[in-house]
Amino acid sequence: MQGNSSFRIAALQMVSRKQVADNLSEAERLIADAARQGARLVALPEYFPLIHEDETAKLRIREDDAAGPIQDFLSEAARKHGVWLIGGTIPMRAGNPDKVRNACLVYSPEGERVARYDKIHLFGYSTRDERYEEANTIEAGDRVVTFAAPPGRIGVAVCYDLRFPELFRAMGDVALIVVPSAFTVSTGLAHWELLLRTRAVENQCYVLAPAQGGTHESGRRTYGDSLIVDPWGTIANRLGKGPGVVLADLEPRVLEDTRAKLPALRHRTL
């Protein structure tokens, strides 16, 4: 940990629409609101620029690395509001021309990009009523990503990654894990809180989980319940449905005390 003072973090919950401009406007409003309330690190949800019933719609707004209007928006918003900004996910050009990378981009308060994480685990879910197959339009990433910020090292994962604890172990010693998400209602009801609290407890760190939450213009329903969880697995704050800001203070003392009284990370043998 860097320093002993608290560091306010914010998860932004959205109900993204089919027009990118509408979603950027809403994201700007929420980022500004979080910054006004003292947030120094702000995270948007997965698919924040677009949720559409046509799964190929994301291909039409994909951007080249380090060039594009959505990336320009994220850089400018971070600089304008003086925050570390974790930009949910945006569609980036992939090696396969028929797919995109579902990329989470991180910007410093100066508007400089400091990290990019491409979602590794691609969601597949099939019931009588629901079917999702991200691999049809998304190309998987293959690299674990962390970056340095004032609270310490921060790890980045996305949504379905939550189900794969080995990814989080590979991040090493982190103060915070950020997980932009767009969980379905059925899987969210069953596992969302359970998985987030488990990742916090087993890695003895804070978890920040901004989510999509509500009924979208496209007809899709997402679970919401954006959460901030502390290293003991206690929920510091949450928001059920609808757009909004979830705030909590990342406390270095809580991290240190948790690891001191139960040094599980030092007890690992594998």
Query: pLDDT digits over 172-189, tens only?
Result: 999 999 999 999 999 999
Give yes or no for residue 98 having a pLDDT over 90: yes
pLDDT at 129: 85
- Averaged pLDDT for residues 157-167: 98
Residue among 58, 63, 104, 159 flagged as catalytic: 159
Work out whether the CA dihedral 182, 141, 92, 24 comes out positive or negative: positive
Burial annotation 18-31 (CB, 10 A radius, 16+ → b, else e): eebeebbebbeebb
Q: Tell me if residue 46 is catalytic.
A: yes
Query: Quick one: average pLDDT of 104-121?
Result: 98
Predicted pLDDT at 137:
97
pLDDT of residue 56: 96
Task: Give tens-digit pLDDT for 61-84.
Answer: 999 999 999 999 999 999 999 999
Q: So what CATH class is 7-267?
A: alpha beta
CA distances (Å), 114 to each of 88, 145, 150, 197, in order? Answer: 14, 11, 13, 27
Q: Considering the candidates 26, 46, 63, 251, report the single residue annotated as catalytic.
A: 46
Give yes or no: 241 in active site.
no
**pLDDT higher for 48 or 2?**
48
- Three-state DSSP class for residue 50: coil
pLDDT digits (tens, 9 = 90+) for 9-56: 999 999 999 999 999 999 999 999 999 999 999 999 999 999 999 999
- Distance CA(53)–CA(57), nearest Å, equals 8
* pLDDT mean over 196-209: 98
**List 26, 119, 134, 139, catalytic entry:** 119
pLDDT of residue 65: 97
Mean pLDDT (the chain) is 97
